[in-house]
């Protein structure tokens, strides 16, 4: 299975955005500018999240397209060994599902982390709003 996304590069990009997402309550003009910056960072994070979702969808699609019917299970079916053929297909399905989950997990972790950062950005913007009012 091939997914066109460099996880390390994506994680680095997210880390750099996290470092830029700060709020210093010094004076109103500065705070307004910082809020705009936080909004821009959130926009970039949402864009990265869309790419991550696309990669997850691609993994799911590839796993769905993989067929559990092997030549061996078809041959067993033909020779009347249906129970054995069914067990072989079930085993193959489990292996495909397991591979899908293990391939998807790093992307799910990144997605959760992005959600966390988006929430953090909302909290900072709320804090700024309270300061400005």
Q: How far apart are CA 14 and CA 19, in angstroms?
A: 9
- Model confidence at 1: pLDDT above 60: no
Share of the chain above pLDDT 70, in %: 87
Report if residue 93 sits inside a domain. yes
Residue 77 or residue 10, greater confidence: 10
Report if residue 13 sits inside a domain. no
Report if residue 14 sits inside a domain. no
Report if residue 48 sits inside a domain. yes
Report if residue 45 sits inside a domain. yes
Task: Say how many domains are in the chain.
Answer: 1
Report if residue 7 sits inside a domain. no
| Mean pLDDT, rounded, for 51-55 | 95
Report if residue 8 sits inside a domain. no
pLDDT digits (tens, 9 = 90+) for 88-128: 788 888 888 888 889 899 999 999 999 999 999 999 999 99
Q: How far apart are CA 113 and CA 130, in angstroms?
A: 26
Print the domain residue range for 100.
Answer: 26-132
Report if residue 1 sits inside a domain. no
Q: How far apart are CA 56 and CA 8, in angstroms?
A: 16
């Amino acid at each position: 299975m091939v997914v066109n996304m460099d996880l390390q590069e994506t994680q680095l990009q997210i880390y750099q955005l996290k470092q830029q997402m700060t709020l210093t309550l010094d004076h109103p003009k500065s705070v307004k500018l910082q809020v705009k910056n936080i909004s821009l960072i959130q926009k970039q994070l949402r864009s990265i999240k869309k790419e991550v979702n696309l990669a997850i969808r691609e993994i799911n699609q590839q796993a769905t397209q993989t067929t559990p019917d092997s030549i061996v299970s078809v041959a067993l079916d033909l020779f009347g060994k249906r129970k054995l053929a069914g067990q072989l297909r079930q085993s193959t399905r489990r292996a495909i599902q397991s591979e899908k989950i293990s391939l998807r997990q790093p992307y799910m972790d990144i997605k959760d982390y992005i959600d966390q950062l988006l929430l953090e950005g909302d909290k900072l913007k709320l804090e700024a709003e309270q300061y400005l009012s």
